[in-house]
Amino acid sequence: MHRDWRDQPARALVKYGSMIKSPQGFPIQSPYLAIANRQAEIMMRIACEFGFTPASRSRIATPAPPDRGLFAILDDPPDEAVS
């Protein structure tokens, strides 16, 4: 059910083709083709946003590793409180 928005235009393109006849009998582009193209655009933007493409992967910044590990911090004596 959740994939119907994606599968319906693809199934219609397979069934009817990318060109259909208008009510006047002239061939026109199938409206399902425009829907499928728009969905492909949206998915490419999402892929870029999440770093799934090689170009977008280079723009993802990772935090620098800490200078000291967790155990090094725990082994340090606590700072003396100033009264």
The string of pLDDT tens digits covering residues 44-76 is 898 888 888 888 888 777 777 767 666 766 766
Whether the pLDDT of residue 29 is over 70: the answer is yes
Percentage of the residues of the chain whose pLDDT score is greater than 90: 5
Q: What share of the chain is helix, strand, coil (3-state, %, to 5)?
A: 50, 5, 40
Task: Give the mean pLDDT of the chain.
Answer: 78
**CA–CA dist 78, 80 (Å, integer):** 6
pTM attached to this predicted model: 0.54
CA 7 to chain CA mean position, Å: 18
